């Protein structure tokens, strides 16, 4: 099995973008190695590079996903806007208190006082104060995390029909926290947020119905939500929907529709859609193609996490004897011992030299 995994990793290295990333990493690594050892090294195959053992683990994990027919997601890099609010709709007092709470330069006592004022504003019924207070209790930081308090304040704001609060509350109920987990309520709040125009809330239920983790598994219903999110130009939804059409999971297998979904995902910036589009001749084995695209996703994270830091350039050092000789030379040129010229900084070969 080890030999097979190594062969797969070395075949992945044959993909131009993977080889380019590996070569760039190797060049940076050589700068570090040669700086300390002075020896040039030959680049080994990717499968033999110990820093990238995680790639082998990813190969094994994705192979198991194929065996189990498990749906996968590549949305960790997705920019999530579902919890954003339009500041133009927030009261001046609420914005002022939030700014003071988030200002780390203020004394802690003043920030605590602002949090107390925010709670009083929330108690008076200010929907955005309720929402921000719920996030404070959920995320911690200034306030100690309290998941029940978070759910309490978010639900008050959600019942006032604030889509961002409905979305945040739905996610909270779908979390793994046993104190608040409630799959049915979580889905319902996400659906309400989606009905009120929250675009991210249309994507999340699609995932939940695909996995069956917090709701009864329903690929057809999942596709409906993903289609709605894709119509709102969400590339992650378009890509996932393309995978469903390519494999026939929950929707009729349709290569043309899959192409359109991947094309839409690519237009709006999905990082792996182009790879799938460029390999349409491999669509007859979609599980294998999509697995390779997911391995590329893992490898991008692994390359990023293992990027070496180039060694710092040495600083120019002048010992005391040389400094005394320079001082004597300055005096010989007519300068007084305490005559300090304005310091200048010149850059030469990466070294900063002052006073020359």
- Element at 341 (helix H, strand E): none
Helix (H, G, I), strand (E, B) or coil at 22: helix
281 compared with 312, residue with greater pLDDT:
281
pLDDT of residue 116: 96
% residues pLDDT > 90 (the chain):
38
Q: Chain-centre distance of CA 329, in angstroms?
A: 58
The answer for residues whose C-beta is within 8 angstroms of residue 45's C-beta and 6 or more apart is 6, 9, 10, 13
- Per-residue pLDDT of 1-60, as tens digits, reads 777 777 777 777 787 877 888 888 778 778 766 655 556 677 888 888 777 777 777 777
- Element at 345 (helix H, strand E): strand 345-348
In DSSP notation, 65-130 reads HHHHT------TT----TT---GGGS-HHHHHHHHHHH-TTS-HHHHHHHHHHHHHHHHTT-HHHH
Token output for 147? 């998941």
Task: Please determine, for residue 323, whether its predicted confidence score (pLDDT) is greater than 60.
Answer: yes
Q: Which domains are present in the chain?
A: 1-74+279-312 (no CATH), 82-198 (1.25.40.10), 199-271 (1.25.40.10), 320-354 (no CATH)
Look at 53-62, 158-167, 257-266, 303-312 and tell me which has the smallest mean pLDDT: 303-312
CA distance 208 to 187: 8
pLDDT of residue 346: 39
Q: How open is the CA angle 139-165-195, to the nearest 5 degrees? A: 145
Helix (H, G, I), strand (E, B) or coil at 205: helix
129 compared with 41, residue with greater pLDDT:
129
Task: Please determine, for residue 348, whether its predicted confidence score (pLDDT) is greater than 60.
Answer: no
CA distance 131 to 240: 31
């Amino acid at each position: 099995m080890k030999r097979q995994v190594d062969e797969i990793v070395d075949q992945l290295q044959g993909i131009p973008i993977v080889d380019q990333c590996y070569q760039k990493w190797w060049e940076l690594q050589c700068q570090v190695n040669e700086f300390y050892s002075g020896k040039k090294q030959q680049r080994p195959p990717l499968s033999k590079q110990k820093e990238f053992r995680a790639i082998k683990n990813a190969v094994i994990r994705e192979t198991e996903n194929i065996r189990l027919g498990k749906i996968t997601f590549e949305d960790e890099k997705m920019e999530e806007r579902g919890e954003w609010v339009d500041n133009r709709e927030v009261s001046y007092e609420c914005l002022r208190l939030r700014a003071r709470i988030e200002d780390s330069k203020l004394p802690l006592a003043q920030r605590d006082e602002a949090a107390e004022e925010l709670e009083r504003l929330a108690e008076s019924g200010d929907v955005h104060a309720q929402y921000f207070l719920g996030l404070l209790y959920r995320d911690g930081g200034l306030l100690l995390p309290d998941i029940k308090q978070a759910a309490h304040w978010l639900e008050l704001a959600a019942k006032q029909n604030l889509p961002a609060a409905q979305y945040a509350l739905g996610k909270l109920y779908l979390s793994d926290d046993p104190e608040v987990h409630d799959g049915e309520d979580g889905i319902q709040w996400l659906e309400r947020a989606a009905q009120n125009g929250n675009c991210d809330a249309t994507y999340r239920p699609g995932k939940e119905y695909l996995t069956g983790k917090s709701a009864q598994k329903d690929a057809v219903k999942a596709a409906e939500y993903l289609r709605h999110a894709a119509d709102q130009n969400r590339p992650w939804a378009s890509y996932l929907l393309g995978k469903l059409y390519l494999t026939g999971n929950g929707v009729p297998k349709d290569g043309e529709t899959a192409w359109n979904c991947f094309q839409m995902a690519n237009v709006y910036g999905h990082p792996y859609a182009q790879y799938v589009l460029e390999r349409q001749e491999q669509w007859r084995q979609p599980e294998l193609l999509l697995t390779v695209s997911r391995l590329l996703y893992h490898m991008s994270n692994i390359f990023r996490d293992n990027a070496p830091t180039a060694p710092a350039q040495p600083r120019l050092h002048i010992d005391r004897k040389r400094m005394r000789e320079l001082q004597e030379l300055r005096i010989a040129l007519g300068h007084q011992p305490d005559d300090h010229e304005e310091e200048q900084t010149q850059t030469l070969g990466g070294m900063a030299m002052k006073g020359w």
